[in-house]
């Protein structure tokens, strides 16, 4: 990508058009790919996952005039190849970091606790029950409880696992909002 | 569509999250992250599990080192770790219900090969129950049955700060308990209160209105005393908007302890 290249409205429109002729559908695909790139950069322990995903999206947009007419195949694969380059550049420029493990000070924990209680209060009774039952207890008791819960809800254990994980994600978001540390 | 093989693939995702996969294996998995929704869900769930295992001290030394030096680098995961800690602390504060108490099948399994022990325990239980009935009967006939016990609860969480949990002994000697929930403001026309014991919904009181008692704004509930067995109770107060939407307002905690 040329230095100082900035994503213009025209480039963005061209990128959406490349993803789908239907603009709404293209917008959904764009956001889906971006979210998954963030996931990938996070999984590679990148500290600036969102920035790297945006850099990838911009870089693909900047290359469209060259590849738009000739590239055939799933655009996601092309995004992935560009993401690998962006990641390599990130590794080259980053300095080794050692991070301290976050330590809870008591005041912060009390605020988090209060926010968690509030957020649990906002969940539906079923979801609240599920998340408490799913994550409570240790080892064998936890395994037994999860089996019972899956049987009671008449769903497969992995479906229960994913459902609990999604409720947990929504709780995390709610708690961070409550604390004023908005994350998306 | 590729079928997700839970155990083998979960192990691979776990190694991926700890940064232990070879480049080719990582690339294979990441292409699936881009293509398949199920894989993204698996990655998220495995992240949560790693965090819980770390907090529970269930990672081996090598995994722990990778977790701290690699997995925890992104800020998003540090937030997840803090959240995991808070969730764990919250769950630890709840009374645990043993899983085998929930199925009749496993409940009595332990006694099956021990008929004499089971019979002895049954006799002991019946004796204790008879004694309890006699004590309770005496208290009810000589006590305050028919009268109302009034208590006032302050809003806010209390599990984080045990000193704020209002406690009463099981009110068996009373006919009813009048619970007054202190309110800071009265911005809704109508309210409803959910009463929960150990997070299980017991009752919902609807179409309530705030009252002024001695200059204090309160929500008054009258609860049959026999409903309040020993345990932790939550009163979840919500307001009804003009558009009939229910909006959560506050919650109140009460611990009922066994009679001494």
Q: What is the ipTM of this complex?
A: 0.84
Q: What is the pLDDT of residue B106?
A: 40
Q: How far from the centroid of its chain's Cα atoms is residue B210's Cα?
A: 28
pLDDT band at B134 (very low <50, low <70, confident <90, very high): low
Domain ranges, residue B82: 6-93
Q: Does residue B194 share a domain with residue B239?
A: yes
Q: In the numeric block, which tokens belong to residue B243?
A: 């558009």
Contact (CB<8Å) B99/A137: yes
Q: Does residue B191 share a domain with residue B129?
A: no
Contact (CB<8Å) B74/A49: yes
Element (H, E) at B201: strand B200-208
Chain A hits for B69, CB-CB cut-off 8 Å, are 98
In a domain, B76, yes or no: yes
B14-72 per-position pLDDT tens digit: 999 999 999 999 999 999 988 887 888 899 999 999 999 999 898 999 999 999 989 99
Contact (CB<8Å) B156/A114: yes
Distance CA A9, CA B48 (A): 38
Q: Does residue B253 share a domain with residue B155?
A: yes
In a domain, B193, yes or no: yes
Q: Is B88 left (phi over 0), alpha (psi -120 to 50) or beta?
A: alpha
Highest mean pLDDT among A30-39, B95-104, B191-200, B211-220: A30-39
Are B220 and B180 within 8 A, CB to CB? yes
Q: Does residue B159 share a domain with residue B192?
A: yes
Element (H, E) at B24: helix B23-35
Residue ranges of B 154-183 with Cβ closer than 8 A to chain A: 156-157, 159-161
Split into its structural domains, chain B has a count of 3
Q: Per CATH, which fold does A106-178 belong to?
A: Arc Repressor Mutant, subunit A (1.10.10)
Largest CA distance in chain A: 59
Angle at B41 between CA B37 and CA B46, to 5 degrees: 145
Contact (CB<8Å) B89/A171: no
Q: Does residue B122 share a domain with residue B57?
A: no
In a domain, B98, yes or no: no
Q: Does residue B108 share a domain with residue B89?
A: no
Distance CA A25, CA A11 (A): 17
Residue ranges of B 63-92 with Cβ closer than 8 A to chain A: 68-83, 85-91
Partners of B166 in the beta sheet? B254
Q: Does residue B17 share a domain with residue B57?
A: yes
Q: Is B19 left (phi over 0), alpha (psi -120 to 50) or beta?
A: left
pTM of the model: 0.59
CB neighbours of A111 closer than 8 A, spacing ≥ 6? Answer: A179
Residue among A76, A110, A116 minimizing CB distance to B34:
A76
Q: What is the pLDDT of residue A32?
A: 92
Q: Does residue B152 share a domain with residue B129?
A: no
Domain ranges of chain A: 9-93, 106-178
Q: Does residue B169 share a domain with residue B83?
A: no
Distance CA A49, CA A55 (A): 10
User: Does B36 touch chain A if contact means CB atoms closer than 8 Å?
Assistant: no
In a domain, B117, yes or no: yes
Relative to beta strand B148-153, strand B176-182 is: parallel
Distance CA B208, CA B205 (A): 7
Asked if pLDDT for residue B111 goes beyond 70, the answer is no
Q: Does residue B185 share a domain with residue B136?
A: no
B183-193 per-position pLDDT tens digit: 888 888 888 89
Q: Does residue B222 share a domain with residue B138?
A: no
Q: What are phi and psi of B222, to 5 degrees?
A: -115, 120
Q: Does residue B229 share a domain with residue B161?
A: yes
Alpha carbon of B163 to those of B96, B157, B158, B159, B253: distances in Å?
21, 11, 7, 9, 11
Least confident of B121-125, B146-150, B155-159, B253-257: B155-159
B191-207 per-position pLDDT tens digit: 889 888 887 888 888 88
Which pLDDT tens digits describe chain A residue by residue (184 residues)? 555 667 788 889 999 998 998 999 999 999 999 999 999 999 999 988 999 999 999 999 998 888 867 777 888 889 999 999 999 999 988 766 656 565 555 667 888 999 999 999 999 999 999 999 899 877 677 788 888 889 988 999 999 999 999 999 999 999 999 988 544 4
**CATH number where B225 lies:** 2.60.40.1220
């Amino acid at each position: 990508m040329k230095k100082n290249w900035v994503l213009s409205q025209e480039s963005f429109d061209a990128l959406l058009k490349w993803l789908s002729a239907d603009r709404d559908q293209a917008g959904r695909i764009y956001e889906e790919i971006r979210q998954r790139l963030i996931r990938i950069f996070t999984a590679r322990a990148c500290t600036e996952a969102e920035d790297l995903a945006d850099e990838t999206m911009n870089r693909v947009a900047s290359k469209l005039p060259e590849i738009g007419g000739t590239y055939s195949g799933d655009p996601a694969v092309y995004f992935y190849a560009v993401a690998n380059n962006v990641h390599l550049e990130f590794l080259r420029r980053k300095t080794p970091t050692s991070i301290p493990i976050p330590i809870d000070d008591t005041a912060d924990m009390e605020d988090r606790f209060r926010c968690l209680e509030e957020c649990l209060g906002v969940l539906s009774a079923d979801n609240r029950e599920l998340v408490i039952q799913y994550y409570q207890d240790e080892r064998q008791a936890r395994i037994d409880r999860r089996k019972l819960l899956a049987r009671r809800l008449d769903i497969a254990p992995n479906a229960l696992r994913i459902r609990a994980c999604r409720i947990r994600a929504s709780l995390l978001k709610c708690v961070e909002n409550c604390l004023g540390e908005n994350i998306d | 569509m590729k079928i997700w093989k839970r155990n083998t693939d979960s192990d691979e995702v776990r190694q991926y999250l700890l940064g232990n996969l070879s480049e080719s294996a990582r690339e294979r998995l990441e292409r699936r992250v881009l293509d398949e929704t199920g894989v993204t869900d698996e990655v998220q769930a495995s992240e949560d599990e790693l965090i819980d295992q770390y907090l529970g001290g269930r990672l081996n030394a090598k995994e722990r080192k990778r977790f701290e030096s690699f997995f925890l680098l992104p800020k998003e995961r540090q937030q997840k770790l803090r959240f995991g800690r808070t969730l764990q602390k919250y769950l630890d504060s709840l009374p645990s219900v043993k899983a085998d108490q929930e199925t009749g099948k496993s409940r009595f399994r332990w006694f099956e090969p021990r008929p004499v022990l089971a019979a002895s325990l049954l006799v002991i239980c019946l004796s204790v129950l008879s004694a309890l009935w006699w004590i309770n009967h005496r208290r009810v006939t000589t006590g305050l049955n028919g009268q109302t016990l009034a208590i006032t609860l302050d809003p806010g969480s209390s599990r984080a700060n045990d000193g704020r949990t209002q406690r009463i002994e099981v009110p068996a000697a009373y006919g009813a308990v009048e619970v007054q929930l202190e309110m800071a403001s009265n911005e809704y026309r109508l309210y409803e209160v959910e009463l929960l014991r150990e997070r299980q919904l017991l009752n919902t009181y609807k179409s309530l209105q705030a009252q002024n008692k001695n200059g204090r704004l309160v929500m008054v509930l009258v609860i049959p005393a026999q409903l309040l067995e020993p345990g932790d109770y939550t009163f979840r107060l919500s307001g009804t908007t003009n558009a009939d939407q229910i909006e959560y307002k506050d919650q109140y905690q009460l611990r009922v302890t066994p009679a001494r």
